[in-house]
Structure 1
Amino acid sequence: MPSEAERIELEATRKAHRFGNWAATATRHSPWEDVLGIVAGTALTALGIAMLGSLGFLTGGMAGLAFVLHYLTGWNFGLVFFVLNLPFYALAIGRMGRAFTLKTALAVTLLSLMTAFSPAVIRFAAIEPVTGACLGGLLVGFGLLALFRHRASAGGVGVLAIFLQDRFGWRAGLTQLAVDLLVLVTAILAVPPRAVLLSVLGALVLNLFLAINHRTDRYLAR
């Protein structure tokens, strides 16, 4: 005779659809909770990116590469970010499942749109650079944490980081930090050295925040 917890889990499984199991249980978010979490996470991430961009700084991952290309070519950041993330959907759907891929695609699309239009709706009159680097990194960290906890990511390195954490137990924040530092080294091609150093500071704040707060043994929602 199955226990109550097993019965609830079996009922949730029966309700699963072809995009993955989004039924609400003690360890899973409902679809509406996922949508709200993804919208909130992308909004916080977009605000952090807007703050860093207003200072001429960068962040890591695909967003960092998109910043480099934006500064070098003048191309729209949101469009470049969206295109750079396309190849990572193959890894996401092959290794992380269709639900994760669909939610990540939603997050990337929303983030691309928000960052594309943010210059028209958000302007920062004055931000002290060190403070801006730390706050921008922290905002992006909060946004990514919200996405991770709803089994989504902002694409690119986030997909790889979650895969490695699920497969090998590597901390997602530390994986992102290693990749982000490599990306920021290339930023010397696009921005002054001082901006690169402050961008590194922002990346450290972002990824240390994730390393401390995103742990599968502390948060079980899927």
Structure 2
Amino acid sequence: MVNGMANEATLPPAGINAGLVHNVKDDVYGLTLGVMFIAIGLYMLKLAGMITGGVAGMALLFSYLVELPIGLLFILTNIPFMLFCYVRMGRAFTLKTLIVNIALAATSQIVPHLQTVTYIHPLFAALVGGTFIGMGVLSLARHNASVGGTGVVTLWLQARFGINAGKTQMLLDLLLFALSSSLLPASLLLWSALSALAMNAMLMNWHKPGRYQG
């Protein structure tokens, strides 16, 4: 059993970029872009009072229930998933994911002070905010990291069994939305579903084994 776990922990980076080598500059740039996209997407959805899929949706939902910064909620929500990440995805993946979470917590606090938005249409927030988060998750995955949460589980399932990460994430998101149905108005829940669809569309279309070649 120990040997089996060790073999799983040493899979190629999430099964995503086997054979590809990113240098430190590539990783820093890719992770920075991922954090920026996710922070802006979260800000847009937060302004519109929505949630989305994955750990981003969990953090947003909790932010409407408790008076804590969304970045901090991201980290707190991720604790059990980080343990799974360490066991199944390896030390390097877990370290990058932890760094991403800390950077995202800080960036999420800064973004509202760098721009002032007085109105955002829910359609725009859902489509653009969800797409931004999806782009961010994709950028992180290409550099052997993630935001943690259910994304860690979906990446591991894709690496281990070849199950499409976007499709698995969609199923998990349906469960999250079912749990949220008693807390959010139906209209916001529908817009939120659109944001989750936009986010997962990025993964289903672009996060496929063998598609990324450099």
Alpha-carbon distance in 2 for matches of 1:204, 1:129: 14
1:78 aligns with 2:71: yes
1:213 aligns with 2:206: yes
Alpha-carbon distance in 2 for matches of 1:145, 1:68: 22
1:96 aligns with 2:92: no
Alpha-carbon distance in 1 for matches of 2:102, 2:132: 19
1:198 aligns with 2:179: no
Alignment of 1:9-158 (within 5 A): 27-158=20-151
Counting aligned pairs with the same residue, the percent is 38
Corresponding residue for 1:173? 166
Say whether the 8 Å CA contact 1:174–1:208 is kept in structure 2. Answer: no
Unaligned runs of 5+ in 1: 1-19
**Greater RCO, 1 or 2 (C-alpha within 8 Å, sep 6+):** 2
Alpha-carbon distance in 2 for matches of 1:31, 1:189: 45
Amino acid at match of 2:131: L
Say whether the 8 Å CA contact 1:72–1:190 is kept in structure 2. Answer: no
In 2 relative to 1, CA 26–186 (structure 1 residues): closer, same or farther, beyond 3 Å? Answer: closer
In 2 relative to 1, CA 93–220 (structure 1 residues): closer, same or farther, beyond 3 Å? Answer: farther
Corresponding residue for 2:180? 187
SS state at 2:64 partner: helix
SS state at 1:191 partner: coil
- 1:124-160 Cα offsets, whole Å, 9 max, x none, are 2222211221111111111111001001101111111
Alpha-carbon distance in 2 for matches of 1:35, 1:83: 24
Corresponding residue for 1:16? none
- 1:175-206 Cα offsets, whole Å, 9 max, x none, are 11111121122223332110011000110111
TM-score by length of 1: 0.84
Question: How far apart are 1:35 and its partner, in Å?
Answer: 1.4
RMSD: 1.9
Amino acid at match of 1:195: L
Alpha-carbon distance in 1 for matches of 2:210, 2:50: 34
- 1:65-108 Cα offsets, whole Å, 9 max, x none, are 22122112222211111111112122212111111111111111
Alpha-carbon distance in 2 for matches of 1:210, 1:122: 28
Corresponding residue for 2:4? none
Say whether the 8 Å CA contact 1:43–1:143 is kept in structure 2. Answer: yes
Alpha-carbon distance in 1 for matches of 2:48, 2:202: 21
Unaligned runs of 5+ in 2: 1-11
In 2 relative to 1, CA 87–220 (structure 1 residues): closer, same or farther, beyond 3 Å? Answer: farther
Q: What is the number of equivalent residue pairs in this alignment?
A: 199
SS state at 2:129 partner: helix
Amino acid at match of 2:121: E
Question: Which residue of the other structure, out of 152, 161, 166, is the alignment partner of 1:159?
Answer: 152
Corresponding residue for 1:11? none
Amino acid at match of 1:56: G
Alpha-carbon distance in 1 for matches of 2:163, 2:45: 28
